[in-house]
Each structure stands twice: as structure tokens, then as C-alpha cells.
Chains A and B, each alone.
Chain A
């Protein structure tokens, strides 16, 4: 990986030196800013928490201006100053160069690339860059009129992100995602292999196991294995034992182990009472991100057992095998883990995604929902294809995203409920609501009940996208028939006023496309989080990010951006990172968080314009994209 980066920089330098020969004064090499060694910075995400908290992304906020928005908020804003065309700080968001914020320089927000002669060009250059990079910036600026350069630029600016990773399959090893499409394959059982091919030995299985890029393990503090994403417990029992020994060694020293690195794998440990959760990742996620994933697994266990029950089990017999009480929920844990491994924007942002609907339509749905509400109801939700359509709730209570994540996982990611085909009545604990007791959840899929629609659903490859579910949650375990009646009434009402079809069409329409939002913008994908609503919107993954590896690559970039923005010691508002494969922009204000990704050659100005268009769109469509308030009773 590092070698390639060096090569990239090298070639870049040579191009630039040609240009500097054309007339510009070669910039004197500037002293390097004290920074993490290239080793540490390139491996920052594996190295761990301390490195993590530093900005791990190439920041070049040469010209950042503060803008006031119509809503009164202020945001900092990268302007079109220096062309960042040929600054392939290789490895994208991982090079670890940072530039101080230059807000105070009093540059005009736009058009500051017309540097006056009285100002030294060098004084505006990002002094933290290595000389080669610097040369490219300056040279690019001074030579941008050159015909050949323009030609080159016009071609290269349209390169989509991750193009090289897609085309250079040979080099896939460098991207670290080789074999990611096999990440979710099962490791064959020994019994199967004995009777079947007979060729798979324990060593082969272990090799398959080790090839996985992400592992999750749950074990009890007594060392009893509880769950592991990959490999049956007989295969990895000894590894569980090693993990337990390491963790308990530090526990004994009253200095709990939080994480460590071995090779290119990062180990993160979460201890919750009698349970140890371990995440092992080679996907370059930050400790905080991995820990929140482990926390979600813990929440899933609490959702099955409740906290008092979990405590009781271990208070009476610390050596209890928790597999028995958790029996049947392995698939829920696995589907949760897999959605993290695939990259789940809602988990990354801690926010919900809503179905885009007209305000009046959502209003109609909410009102029908509220009007037909059963007395026993606590929460009512309508969900389509994993996106929230409508929610009604008591005034005193709101729904926590982590609880909804568990529900969505149960409904849309694991087959336990969906495949049954009927209506479901599920006792579950929503830990963020109350981890001490059960609620009862009525679930019914609007499409799944009539038998006639069953066969076409099975034929279509992506049924979850079209499925509309109604979820009614009550504290009363006897309220099934009341909630069922409510469901039937709601369905009748929504069918009659046409909103069920509207939901269906909106679901089929999919996520917003960038070509509609910001025509001409070369941004390939974005995530927009409305901080006040704890909701997010994202552009369609089609066509570039549909396959597993491409999607993971995108999500990894978002994870890195997010980690850089939210590092403990980083006070960033805008971050523009250019890598060999993609350019990305993160922008955080009190109102929103925006993350967007474009091809590696897009200029900062174009990217900023695109980002602005997205922001304006989100502002304009806010009440369609997000559920504001919801139905309250």
C-alpha cells in the first residue's frame, strides 16, 4: 500500500517539475511540519485511538470562508482557491497532513485564486505539504491556462472515484478489499466436508476463517464462548480462550484493555458486565466506530434478554452458557454484524433514514395513523424498504435510533420475521427506551399477506426494497388482537386515500439521484445528516456503488471522513481530502453534516459548488426528506 503511494507522489512530482520549468519559479522546499511519521499516518486507522483522534485526512483548507446561511446558521466553506487537481495525496483520507485553518486571513470567499502580485504565492501554499505536493499546487495554478494541461484536466476531472481500484484488479490487494465479496460466505462445516468433498481440512477452514476481514466475538468473562460471526465455536474455541486470557489479564490489573493492533488488524474490546465483546477489523474503521458496533451487538442481546435477566443469569452462575438463552438470535447478531461490515450509513451517522414523501402526504398518513390508534399503542411505525415513513408516539417518549436499528435489522436484514409470511407478535426489549422490561411488537408486511403477491415477490431479486411494514408496539402482551384490528383499519384507510400506493411508488423510486439534485455536479455520492432531526438522507447507490466491494470502498471512505471529523482533538468544520482514488469533502455545521465523494481529479471549487447545491436541496426539501416531529399523542 505504502509503496504505491510513494510511487504516486513520485510521478506527480515529476509532472510538476516539468511545469515549473515552463516558467514558474520552483518553490523552495519548505520545512516539514512536525507530523506523524508516514508509517503511523498511513496506518493511522489501525494504529489505534491516539492516532485516530488526530486528523487522518489530508486537509488543505487554504481558503476557508465563513458563510451565513439563510437560516441563520454559519458554515465554513472551502473556496475555489488552489486547484487541487494533481495533488494525489495518496491513500486518500489517510495521509495525515493537516493545515491550520486560514479563516482569519481575510481572503475573499470566492475567486481568491486571483492572487495579487504583492502577495507571495508561497505564503498561501499549504506549508504542511511535502515539497513535491506544494510544487504541484503552485504549478497547477500558474499553468492552468496551458492548452495541454487543460486538455489533460478536462479528461481527468471526470474520472469517477475508485476507478483505478475497479479496473486494476491486479492491484486489488492494495486497496485492502481483495476477496471482500467472499466475506459473507459461510465457512463449511466439518461434517459437511467429511461427507461431501472430503477435501476440506481444519487447516483449510482456519485459513478461510482468517481470510475474513472482520470478526466479531462475544464471550463471557468466564471465558465461555457465546457467539462468533465466522466459524463454528469448535473451530475458534482456542482463539476465544486466548482473547479471554488477554482481556482478563488487564481486567485483573484494573486497567481494562480497550484495543490493540496486530499486523493490519485492529482489535477493539468492549466489556459490559459479564460479557466481553471483541471486534477485529481490517477495514480501517476507527476504535469509536468499532466500539459503537459492539455496543449495538450488546443492545441486541439486551433486546433479547433485558438487563435484569442478563444480570440474574450471571449472578447465579457466572459460568452459565449464554448460548442457550440466546438461542435463535444468532441470525439477528449476524445480520447486524454483516450490515456493519457492509457499511451502514445509519450506524455511522447514528441517524435514521426516512422515505421521501410530500409533506401533505406524510401528514395524511400520520393523521390516519393517529386517528385509528389503539389505546394499547405505545409506538406506531410505518416502514418501507428500511426507511421510516411515519411514526406516532406519545408526547413523553421518542424513539431512539439504536432501538430502531434493532427493529429494522430484525425486519429487513434477517429473515426470521419476513419469511414467515404472517403477522408477528414479538416480545422484545428496546434497551434505549427501557432496558428492564419487554414490549410487544406487532409486525405485519402490507404486501406479504395476500397470497397472490407471494410468487412475484420471490422472483424479484430485491424484495426488501419494496416491502412496507407496519409496526405497532405496546406494553401489553395481550393486545395482539387490538393491534391487529388497528392494522387492518390503517391498511383500509391508507388504501382508500391512496397513500399506500404513494408509499409504494416512493419506495420504488429509490433514493434521490445526484443528477436530479445538483445537475452537472461531479459528486458521485453523498450523505447528509440533519442533526436536529437525527435523520439522514443519502443519494442512490446506483450505478457505481451497488456491488459489495464498491459499496464497502465508499463506506470505508465515509468512515475515515467521519472519524477525522469526529476525532476527539479535531475541531474541523470542513475537510477536503484528495486521494489517489477519490476526493471527498466533509462539512459540519450545527445544522447538518455533509459527506460527499467524487472522482480524484475534481477540483475543490467544483466539489464545493456541488456540495452547496446539495445543501440547498436538502434545505429546500427538508420537510420531505425528514420526519419533523411525527405524529404525537
Chain B
């Protein structure tokens, strides 16, 4: 489809941050290889991966820095989020302390990273909650779980709580499952859409204007649409992964 038409393409540096064992690498693995590994061993240092994401009007090449979550690597994080245009701050929605850690990362990014950075807050391991188990496997749309909240077995962080926080801080917000793949592509597509046109250094050609969505409030609009579901199939098709 769109692949054959040359589209303006640009690189986006994206960094994943979050506590150890929340599933950062699994999200990346799902996004890049559409794969999942049980009991994945902890990342050491950081891993660098790339993946293209085709939007209707342009191609975004994500340069992903998947960082290790352990405390001892925290001092190296600035190296990875410096000049990053996007950040995925991941928490484990079965572990409340991981949301606290995520909030610390958001604060640090807002303080230290590039001013225009697009931050997405991602609650991972949705498959461990009961509200997703029935639906997540067959189709990603109906299981958005946006308002079913805290009814899951293992869920310890309510959707409402995280979503409210994300809105306060103008973050994109998703709940995902790297295991089932639920919402994973949507996160990256939403980020790709949310990157402001102006920050795309290597953007070529004039056609890139239409899909551009500004940061801030607009992101949330975009994100809400995604969460609601109707756009999801499109998003899936648009992503070349």
C-alpha cells in the first residue's frame, strides 16, 4: 500500500524509561519483532533498536533506546534521553511503586530533556488483569479497559489514577500488554503522530504537513481517540511492523 509511494521520512529518537521488570524490553520486542518472551532476562546497560512506522503522510523511523531499569544505571539515563524527541515511561500496573518511579522519570524528563519531548505514560502487563483477559487476545478494540478500572485480579494501579496523572502532566496514556500485543503498536503510532512537525529535523518534502499533530492538549485528543478504539485498525495497518 503506502509503502510503494516515497514519503517523507524522518528519524525520531525515542527512549524507554521505567523501573526494572515492568516490561520495557518486552514492549520493544513486541513492537520491533512482534514477539514475546516469557521470563525475559534483564536488559544490561541499554539496547538500541530501530523500527519504521508508516503514517498516512510520512514514515517515522524510530531509533529506540531501551534502557535497563535497575537503579545503578539511572546515572546513565541522561545520555539516552538527551536530544530524544519521545519518551515511553513504563510502569507495571500490578505494582504501585513502579508508577511512583514512573512519575519520577516524568519529572526528570520535564526538567532535563528537550523541551518539546513527547512523553507517553504506559501501564504494562494488562494481561494480568481480569478486565483484559477475555478480550485482549482476539481484538484490541473492545478491551481498552478505559473505565473498567480496578476490577482485575492483579491490578494495583487503577486506570483512572494513572490517566488523571497523565492528563495533569499532558502525557499520552496507554495501558498495554506486551504479552498479547494489546495497544503496543497504538502507543508508537500515537507517539509518531504526536511528534511536532518542527522537531523532525530530517523531514523532507512538502507533503508532511497533514498528519502533523502538535504537542500538549492535542496529544491527549489524539490519544483519547485511539483509546476509544475506532482508529485502532487504521493504526495497525499504518504501521509497517
Contact = CB atoms under 8 A, between A and B. Distances in A.
B33 A427 contact: no
A423 B48 contact: yes
Chain B contact patch, size range: 20 to 34
A188 to B, nearest CB: 14
Contacts of A328: 20, 42-44, 68-70
B146 interface: no
B68 A424 contact: no
B71 A480 contact: no
Given A327-B20, A327-B71, A422-B66, A480 B48 contact: yes
A463 to B, nearest CB: 14
A416 B33 contact: no
Nearest to B25: A420
A480 B29 CA distance: 21
Contacts of A454: 33, 35
A397 to B, nearest CB: 22
A421 interface: yes
B72 interface: yes
Contacts of B79: 477-478
A428 B45 CA distance: 9
Nearest to B39: A415
18 contacts: A327-B20, A327-B71, A328-B70, A416-B41, A417-B47, A420-B28, A420-B66, A421-B29, A421-B32, A423-B47, A423-B48, A424-B44, A424-B46, A424-B47, A425-B48, A451-B32, A477-B76, A477-B79
B72 A424 contact: no
B73 interface: yes
Interface string B6-31: 00000000000000100001001100
A444 B152 CA distance: 40
Interface of B: 20, 25, 28-29, 32-33, 35, 37, 40-50, 64, 66, 68-73, 76, 79
Contacts of B37: 419
Chain A CB within 10 Å, residue with most, of B28, B41, B42, B68: B41
Interface in A319-360: 324-325, 327-329, 331-332
Interface string A241-266: 00000000000000000000000000
Contacts of B41: 331, 414-416, 419
Contacts of A289: none
Contacts of B68: 328
Nearest to B32: A421
Nearest to B82: A478
A416 B44 contact: yes
Contact of A421 (B46, B49, B69, B76): B49
Contacts of B76: 427, 477
B43 A416 contact: yes
Interface residues of A, number: 31
A288 interface: no
Contacts of B70: 327-328
Contacts of B50: 422
Contacts of B35: 454
Nearest to B73: A427
A220 interface: no
Contact of A424 (B33, B40, B48): B48
A416, A423, A480 interface centre (most CB from chain B within 10 Å): A416
A415 B40 contact: yes
Interface in A431-484: 441, 451, 454, 477-478, 480, 484
Contact of B45 (A325, A414, A424): A424
Contacts of B25: 420
A410 interface: yes
Given A420-B25, A477-B76, A477-B79, A426 B44 contact: yes
A154 B93 CA distance: 70
Contacts of B72: 304-305, 325, 327
A311 B37 CA distance: 36
B223 to A, nearest CB: 27
Contacts of A331: 41-42
B45 A427 contact: yes
Given A327-B70, A414-B41, A421-B47, 6 more contacts: A327-B42, A331-B42, A425-B48, A427-B73, A454-B33, A454-B35
A541 B166 CA distance: 57
A73 B12 CA distance: 62
Contacts of B46: 424-426
Given A327-B20, A414-B41, A478-B79, A422 B48 contact: yes
Contact of A416 (B29, B42, B48, B73): B42
Contacts of B40: 415, 419
A422 B51 CA distance: 11
A423 B37 CA distance: 18
B89 to A, nearest CB: 19
A331 B21 CA distance: 14
